[in-house]
Amino acid sequence: MNISDRIAAGPFKVMTEITRRTTLLEADRDPSFFDDLERVGFLVDRKGNLFDNALAKLKGFYADIGTSKRIMSGDIKVISKISPVSFTRYGLKLQDGTELEAELVVLATGFERDYRVCASRFIGEELAARCAEQMGLDQDGEFRGLYDPIAKSLWSLAGGTIQARWNSRFIALKLQAEQLGKVLN
């Protein structure tokens, strides 16, 4: 097991606290970066929790790979809190009557958060209905529905590669116990 697996895939309660503190440190370290993004309409949550947003809420995060500088410079426009109404000949008309010229419009509307919808295509609607909702943390502070039994020898296993590498060991032990007829909690 690589050290990176242990660092990035620890218990969610611990990882949530680590990323919360890291986010606060980053916001304090370079407030002008966040100020500049807010100035051009990018919604910023300086006290947000990247781990919680990315894995528990499945929204509210943005990984900057250089695009922020283009947003700050005005090369890329961000429109927040105003809904688009229609496309126009040269761009986009907004709910407040504003019309924006654009060569390209990207609507960042999200994705299907309920994995049961996608899973039903592979395991059928009946089994998919047995899957737990994957949103938020359970009573133990772990991501709800991430590693749950669906039927005999069928488990849901989700998350990023790091989480899957870390947690698949425990699922394998539970499957082995099931095959041997032993209870493993």
Partners of residue 44 on adjacent β-strands: none
According to the 3-state scheme, what is the secondary structure of 105-134? CCCCCCCCCCHHHHHHHHHHHHHHHHCCCC
Looking at residue 15, its pLDDT comes to 76
Residue-by-residue pLDDT tens, the chain, 185 positions:
566 555 555 677 777 788 788 888 888 888 999 999 999 999 888 887 777 777 666 677 777 888 999 999 999 988 888 888 898 999 889 999 999 898 888 776 666 677 788 788 888 899 888 887 776 677 777 777 777 788 877 887 766 677 777 778 888 888 888 888 887 66
User: What's the token pair of residue 138?
Assistant: 């359970």
Looking at residue 1, its pLDDT comes to 53
Looking at residue 97, its pLDDT comes to 94
User: 181: alpha, beta or left, given left = phi > 0 and alpha = psi -120 to 50?
Assistant: left
| DSSP 8-state assignment for residue 54 | I
User: What's the token pair of residue 70?
Assistant: 């283009």
Q: Judging by beta carbons within 10 Å of its beta carbon (0-12, 13-18, 19+), is residue 52 exposed, middle or buried? A: buried
State the angle between helix axes of 12-29 and 31-39 in degrees (0 to 180), rounded to the nearest 10.
80
Looking at residue 32, its pLDDT comes to 93
Sorted by where each begins, the domain ranges of the chain are 3-57+60-78, 115-180
How many angstroms separate the CA atoms of 94 and 97, rounded? 5
